[in-house]
Amino acid sequence: MTIRDELDVINAGFGRAFAEQDADRLAAYYTDDARLLFQNTPIIRGRAAIDATMRDWVAAGPQDLVFETGEVLIGGGLVVDIGTIVGPSSRSKYVVVYERQADGSLRIAVDAATSDGTPPAG
């Protein structure tokens, strides 16, 4: 399996977890000391804080989001995924830094996403 294949599997699972409102599964994608960097919020640090954030997000209801890997950078035990998030009426961009774990899996160490703004009226 290539790195891109791994990222495709992770991204698909992440999207399903949002659609199924599964905060536990979402939080499980992150390392214990992960950081979330989103606009208009301070840095969210650690699995417990990320778990609480995910619970807040899924409480808003199911979200139909597709995470699409764009550019991939690889170095040492890190993989950087630069991509887009596509929703029914929105588009965002992200940079996710993954760390290879002792069991061989990839877990999110840093997750940064920002909205592309409101799409123009069609």
Structural domains counted in the chain? 1
pTM of the prediction? 0.91
Alpha-carbon dihedral sign for residues 37, 40, 46, 50: negative
Residue 23 amino acid letter: A
Report if residue 47 sits inside a domain.
yes
Report if residue 119 sits inside a domain.
no
Q: What is the CATH number of the domain that holds 94?
A: 3.10.450.50
Report if residue 120 sits inside a domain.
no
Nearest to 33 by CA among 82, 95, 77, 97: 97
Report if residue 12 sits inside a domain.
yes
pLDDT in tens, 23-81: 999 999 999 999 999 988 999 999 999 999 999 989 988 889 999 999 999 999 999 99
Report if residue 74 sits inside a domain.
yes
Report if residue 24 sits inside a domain.
yes
Report if residue 122 sits inside a domain.
no
pLDDT in tens, 79-121: 999 999 999 888 999 999 999 999 999 999 999 999 887 655 5
Distance set, CA 81 to CA 36, 72, 74 (Å): 15, 5, 9
Domain span holding position 71 = 3-114
